[in-house]
Amino acid sequence: MTILVTGGAGFIGSNFILDWAADSDEVVVNVDKLTYAGNLKNLSSLGGDCRHVFVKGDIGNVELMSTLLSQHKPRAILNFAAESHVDRSIHGPADFIETNVVGTFGLLESTRAYWSALPDAEKIAFRFLHVSTDEVYGSLEKDDAAFREDSRYAPNSPYSASKAASDHLVRAYHHTYGLPVLTTNCSNNYGPFHFPEKLIPLCILNALSGKDLPIYGDGQQIRDWLYVKDHCAAIRRVLECGVLGETYNIGGWNEKTNLEVVKALCGVLDELKPLAGARSYAHQITFVRDRPGHDRRYAIDANKIATELGWTPKETFEAGLRKTVQWYLEHQEWVNEVSTGAYRVWMNAHYKVESRS
């Protein structure tokens, strides 16, 4: 048996493949365009393992995807591929529309053609699992109830709007063509292999190199943090026993302000890699101009997946953050490699424009 994963060289996709390989003998075909965020080094521990087949390609390339589907005959497709960084979507939305909307549409078309031609038993067993985000629901006020699966879509950034559009396409392919789809909407992930443009890895690496820890606005925005391995386990669970056409919210029951998160990671660094003179890394915290249209609060009500599929997060934020900081301390080579080239250009441009108010 075979599954096909898209975006498997990115942060969550690579964690998913590594966990899958640790657990299963089923082959994973990994199709990734290798944008700035895709890094095959994330999968280097698999070595020449024949259960991982990598193909460099674009999900929107219908000809390529159709060839791969008829060649490998996967029983499931898991769509992780996306442009995923909100700030980049504000600076340049075009790539987000191209991959997240047009690319997902292309992938759905290739999948529909492949699935339609499957023999009945395989057709029934087939799954298309679309990995999405809580950001499609927009922003919550402090006392609002957490997002449920039936919360209204109200995306606010080009990123979340493009993900919302992809969710709608996936839903429509189920409703119209009967494609056996599942959609997951997850909160903010953190953990190993997280590209250092995002808050947690950015602050770990900036702290270690003596740079500012840039907090947008007042730092009181709230995110619901989930350790990436818990997200991967939830996706496996949904793939295994999710109800077709349903969506599942995935979250950590762990709401924190950005300032709390950064202070917590400074605390872990103070312990694991103390600065001279007993100074805390927290002295590097700097408030910078806010992100335009910055969503104030995300929170996931993860009751449905808990009660219907029996999934709950295993990792506490304290233990997950410690593991994450430890991972970055122990993977200097990975850090050095991603910190060069296109990434450096982005950092210089973005944090110069968004400089202190």
Nearest to 82, CA basis, from 172, 20, 3, 13: 13
Strands 222-224 and 255-257: antiparallel
Are 4 and 31 a contacting pair, CB within 8 Å?
yes
Name the one range near ligand TYD by CB under 6 A: 112-120, 211-219, 231-239, 241-249: 211-219
Residue 35 interacting with ligand TYD (CB under 6 A)? no
Say whether 79 sits in a helix, a strand or coil.
strand
For ligand NAD, the binding residues in 22-41 under the rule CB under 6 A are: 31-35, 37-38
What totals of helices (H) and strands (E) does the chain contain, helices first? 14, 13
- Alpha carbon separation from 291 to 38, 68, 295 (Å, rounded): 24, 40, 9
Rounded CA-CA distance 7/334 in Å is: 18
Residue 264 interacting with ligand TYD (CB under 6 A)? no
State in angstroms the smallest separation of the CB of 231 from ligand NAD: 7
State in angstroms the smallest separation of the CB of 82 from ligand NAD: 3
**Cβ-based neighbour number of residue 122 at 10 Å:** 12
| Closer of 105 and 287 to ligand TYD (Cβ) | 287
- Residue 103 binds which entry of ligand TYD, ligand NAD, none, with Cβ cut-offs from 5 to 8 Å by kind? ligand NAD
Residue 7 interacting with ligand NAD (CB under 6 A)? yes
State in angstroms the smallest separation of the CB of 347 from ligand NAD: 16
Between the CA atoms of 28, 33, 39 and 40, what dihedral angle is there, to the nearest 10 degrees? 40
- Give catalytic status of residue 134 as yes or no: yes
- Residue 284 binds which entry of ligand TYD, ligand NAD, none, with Cβ cut-offs from 5 to 8 Å by kind? none
Nearest to 31, CA basis, from 80, 70, 75: 80
State in angstroms the smallest separation of the CB of 210 from ligand NAD: 26
Which secondary-structure segment (H or E) carries 28? strand 27-32
Q: Extract the tokens encoding 237.
A: 């669970």
- Give catalytic status of residue 87 as yes or no: no
Distance from chain centroid for Cα 245 = 21
Which residues partner with 223 through β-bridges?
256
What's the one-letter identity of residue 180? P
Phi/psi for 275 (5° steps) reads -80, 155
Residue 52 interacting with ligand NAD (CB under 6 A)? no
- Residue 131 binds which entry of ligand TYD, ligand NAD, none, with Cβ cut-offs from 5 to 8 Å by kind? ligand NAD
Query: Per-residue contact track with ligand TYD, 289 to 308, x per CB under 6 A?
Result: --x-----------------
For ligand TYD, the binding residues in 110-169 under the rule CB under 6 A are: none
Name the one range near ligand NAD by CB under 6 A: 129-137, 140-148, 201-209, 305-313: 129-137
**Cβ-based neighbour number of residue 253 at 10 Å:** 18
Q: Select from 86, 164, 264, 321 the one that contacts ligand TYD (CB under 6 A).
A: 86
Residue 107 interacting with ligand TYD (CB under 6 A)? no
State in angstroms the smallest separation of the CB of 206 from ligand TYD: 9
Residue 169 interacting with ligand NAD (CB under 6 A)? no
State in angstroms the smallest separation of the CB of 274 from ligand TYD: 24
DSSP type of residue 103: I
Residue 215 interacting with ligand TYD (CB under 6 A)? yes
**Which residue ranges make up the site for ligand TYD (CB under 6 A)?**
86, 188, 198-199, 202, 214-216, 221, 223, 258, 291
